[in-house]
Structure 1
Amino acid sequence: MPAQTLAAQPGRWLWTCREGFESHLFEELTWAGAGPRLLGPALLESEQRPEVPPAFGRAVERVVATWAPPGGAQVPVEDLVAAMSGLPSRVPWLVRAYTPDSAKGNTQAGRAEALEAAVRSALPAGRVLEDDGRAREAGALLVGLCVAPDGVLMLGAVSAREALSLAPGGRRRMKRAGESPSRAAMKLEEALDGLAHEPGRGDVCVDLGAAPGGWTQRLVARGARVVAVDPAKLMPELAKNPRVQHVQESAFAYAPEESADWLFCDMAWRPLEVAQLLAKWGRRRWARNLVANIKLPMKDKNPLLLRVRQTLVEDGGWEGLTVRQLYHDRDEVTVTAHRMR
């Protein structure tokens, strides 16, 4: 790790990740021939952007300009706006200032908030979108201001349609609903937030390893009908819900009576065995859409993730596979995919 935060080089790609996972992202980028360089906690750059997004990269943008003033001096807003003058102006901009997801980075949160407000007010009226709700639909440009420790400031941009995440630095913070039984509910909300569509009223969902019911609760709240599979008990209010069928048996032994619209899985189990179970569901066409969480407690994560990907695609026939470590994930990744009937 560099003693001080390094500034990325203009024209290269700036990546964010969870602190402590820099080596895993570096390895993924190296395997892809992307030419990575470590900049500091939770920050890397690369010469190329791989076609298959790395699992441990939260956000990425092409670097436009960087500053590293002596003594950590503030960069004038006028300099930032001037550096933006070469960006496409015929599309709306989604301006996001963020800090690296690290202990040192979080100390810059106030500076980032003030800088974003100042830049927004200095840009022409109507140029900046207020939120990301229609950014992709509008073909917006995501403009990122990375406020890093040691006075480093980096300006980057990427099309909203090509962005890994529209959240600042890829940190999509979900609010914990008061009735949610566990942190797991926020992981599901973040996973669904990034999909083109999500489960809705009348959809049939199977939740493998459901207890105590964090994911089941959020699916029912969307109007779905849920088959919750777990030998353990659900929360009493879920067990009584007419749209929840609790099957008290092992997820590995369960076979559905009907095909499902969605398969969900958040089991604390060995990753390859979970991948093989999910592959069975894809191979037998028991579900059309997949959202699963794969636990990765081991140190050498990438070789295992490669086998998980191969199992799901080659053995299971799942299509459109994404593997991402989301903001609410810890030693785990979230997998999404679909399967044509």
Structure 2
Amino acid sequence: MPPDTLPAQPGRWLWTCRAGFEPHLFEELAWAGASPRMLGEVLVESEKRPAEPPAFARTGIRVVASFLAGQPSEQLAQSIASRVTEAVPTGPLVLQSFTPDSPAGNRLADEADAVLEAVRTRLPADRLLEETWRARESGATLVELCVAPGVVVVGSVPAREALSLSPGGRQRMRRPGDAASRAAMKLEEALVSLPFEPGRGEVCVDLGAAPGGWTQRLVARGARVIAVDPAKLIPELAGLPRVEHIQESAFAYTPEEPADWLFCDMAWRPIEVAQLLAKWGRRGWATHLVANIKLPMKDKNPILLRVRHILVEEGGWQALTIRQLYHDRDEVTVTAHRTS
């Protein structure tokens, strides 16, 4: 890790990740032949964007310019605005700023906000899209200002190609007051990234459901949930007409009919979980998949390669994504679907 954050090189890609996972992101990019370079905490640069988005990347932007910190704020803001106008001459923009998600980076939050506002006033107001959620449908370009210790990096990416629409990929979800555990936030973040979510009346199977964090959020969406776990669910779920609790192992359970959605968040060995999910895909027991895979302390990337192979080649799951989301810790979130 460099002692000070290095400036990013224009034309290359800047990636962010969870603090401590820089070596895993670097390794992914190296395996993809993307010539990575470690810039500092949370920040990794690469020569190109791999065909498969890196699992450990929260967001990725193509670098437009990089500035050393310390110059007058007015001059910096004008320089950034000029480069943004040159790099993205037409079309709507979503302008955001972020700091690296590290102790040193988080101390710069106020500075990042100030830079953002100064740049915003120097761009045409009619180009700035305020409703970030409309960025993809509007064909907007996501422009991000990364304010890191000693460096300000400007980058952009078409919103339709962005890994996340949240600044720096930090999609913070609120924990509902009645949530059984923090697992609810992981599910909410996973569903935000999908073009659709479980609808009213759809059948969801929740493998390893106890204590019921995911089941609780699915029921709140109007879904019918089959919760599979030998352990008990929270009392709030007992007796609900749209919850059926099957008290047996997820590995032994066989559904009576195909489900619309398969959900899984079990603290179990990743390869065995992947094989279980592959069985569901191979046998056509579910159409959509959202699962959380726990990772070992070592060899994370080799394990993810095996997980991907098992789910796609053995399970027949399609459009597979593997991402370490903001609310994930030593784990990744998997989404996929299958067609009959």
Q: Secondary structure at the match of 2:250?
A: coil
1 CA distance for matches of 2:120 and 2:199?
Answer: 36
2 CA distance for matches of 1:252 and 1:259?
Answer: 16
Q: 1:294-334: per-residue Cα shift (whole Å, max 9, x none)?
A: 00032210001100000000000000000000000000000
2 CA distance for matches of 1:95 and 1:84?
Answer: 10
2 CA distance for matches of 1:87 and 1:37?
Answer: 23
Deviation at 1:12, TM superposition (A): 0.3
Q: 1:217-263: per-residue Cα shift (whole Å, max 9, x none)?
A: 11011100000000111111112211000000000000001100000
1:66 and 2:66 aligned: yes
> Equivalences for 1:118-267 in 2 at 5 Å?
118-149=118-149, 151-267=150-266
Deviation larger for 57-66 or 101-110: 101-110
Q: 1:163-217: per-residue Cα shift (whole Å, max 9, x none)?
A: 1111100000001110111100000000000001110101100000001111001
Deviation at 1:88, TM superposition (A): 2.8
Counterpart amino acid of residue 246 in structure 1: H
1:47 and 2:85 aligned: no
Structure 2 residue aligned with 1:28? 28
Structure 2 residue aligned with 1:322? 321
Deviation at 1:121, TM superposition (A): 2.5
Number of matched residues?
Answer: 339
1 CA distance for matches of 2:22 and 2:125?
Answer: 38
Q: Secondary structure at the match of 2:145?
A: strand
Tell me the TM-score normalised to structure 2 length: 0.98
Deviation larger for 72-81 or 113-122: 72-81
Counterpart amino acid of residue 175 in structure 1: R
Q: Do 1:141 and 1:158's aligned partners in 2 also have CA atoms closer than 8 Å? A: yes
Deviation larger for 45-54 or 107-116: 107-116
Structure 2 residue aligned with 1:6? 6
Deviation at 1:137, TM superposition (A): 0.5
1 CA distance for matches of 2:57 and 2:125?
Answer: 33
Q: 1:79-130: per-residue Cα shift (whole Å, max 9, x none)?
A: 1111112133432101110011111111111111222222222221221111
Structure 2 residue aligned with 1:307? 306
Counterpart amino acid of residue 156 in structure 2: A
Tell me the TM-score normalised to structure 1 length: 0.97
Q: Do 1:72 and 1:152's aligned partners in 2 also have CA atoms closer than 8 Å? A: no
Q: Secondary structure at the match of 1:257?
A: coil
Counterpart amino acid of residue 189 in structure 1: E
Q: Do 1:293 and 1:333's aligned partners in 2 also have CA atoms closer than 8 Å? A: yes
2 CA distance for matches of 1:86 and 1:165?
Answer: 24
Q: Secondary structure at the match of 1:280?
A: helix
Q: Do 1:36 and 1:46's aligned partners in 2 also have CA atoms closer than 8 Å? A: yes
**In the superposition, relative to structure 1, how do residues 121 and 72 fare at CA in structure 2: closer, same or farther (>3 Å)?**
closer
Unaligned runs of 5+ in 1: none
2 CA distance for matches of 1:132 and 1:125?
Answer: 15
Counterpart amino acid of residue 311 in structure 2: L
Name the Cα RMSD after superposition. 1.1
